[in-house]
Amino acid sequence: MKMDGLYTALVTPVKDGKVDRKAMSKLIDYVIAGGSDGLLVLGGTGEYASLSHEQRVDAIKICIEENKKRVPVMVGILSTGLPEAITMGKLSKELGADSVMVITPFYVTPSQKGIKNYYLSFAESVDLPIVLYNIPFRTNSNLLPETVAEILQGTDKIVGMKETSPSYLQATHLMSYFGDKITFFCGEEPLLYPQLLAGCKGAIMASSNLFPSFFKEMISRVQSGNVEGAKEMHFQLIPFLKSAFAECNPGPLKAAMKYVGLDCGDALLPLLPPGPELSKILYKDVDNLNSWIKKNGL
């Protein structure tokens, strides 16, 4: 299964305790029109941990139905234990997902051998292509390149890895060893530009809920050799990233989306919308980036 390009990590719109089909349909149309090559439903940006089981199932169903097979749909599985992860994986298969993204086990702080066995057990039980998801500042465990090598030796179902470690060295290590075997997905907006230069072929971005055409263009510029043009975009993006991630994602992101008319509700408890001071800065940064996008015809 070939996977590359821009995947948008969709927020989950919730209204009156239910997944808002109308809002999700509008968002899916918007990000696909903006150039998203795929959709990720129920990632961290989709607030997997804050949703009930029923809401998660509804989010998958609605995303797949409203996508209408235009682009591949990946389902994020952010479970703490193997039985729940397998249940969600099998459900994703039944509902028509194209792949699943499975986070490293968290809270229990497993060993590297435990992480390897977790992924191999999941792969044995779920008949879908799998994207590994490493985000050590959330899980308190780091999926090391050596462990990835062992996982790849144990199953052929791994098709990609979303790397959300702040370590550029680790990212380049992964790409140099596995870039021709699986798709390396950048998961950190501030690192997208340098990782693209190093050969990254994919990106799973939260901010492309707001600016899909921007991220699609940055990827295209690097791939076409316009490195200076991509660098300009990288610098234009920095102020927005500072405000959008000043508090836990997707609190500010959902507020910014509501500000521009993509109302997907507020972040779910225990997250809260940003306060007045941060909101003022955030909206200014959104306006400035949108002005640059319009000026450049994106």
Annotated catalytic residue within 7, 30, 118, 133: 133
Please tell me the distance from the alpha carbon of residue 258 to that of residue 265, in angstroms, as a whole number.
7
162 catalytic? Reply is: yes
Annotated catalytic residue within 116, 157, 162, 254: 162
284 catalytic? Reply is: no
The token pair that represents 244 in the structure block: 């959008």
Closest by CA position to 88, among listed 139, 122, 40? 122
Do 152 and 160 meet the contact criterion of CB atoms below 8 Å apart? no
Closest by CA position to 102, among listed 135, 144, 71, 72? 135
Closest by CA position to 10, among listed 45, 36, 35? 45
Helix %, strand %, coil % for the chain, to 5?
Answer: 50, 15, 35
Number of alpha helices (DSSP H) and beta strands (DSSP E) in the chain: 12, 10
The DSSP-derived string for 211-225 is -HHHHHHHHHHHHTT
The token pair that represents 107 in the structure block: 């809270």
DSSP symbol at 77: E
Q: Which helix (H) or strand (E) element contains residue 61?
A: helix 53-67
Kindly list the catalytic residues: 133, 162
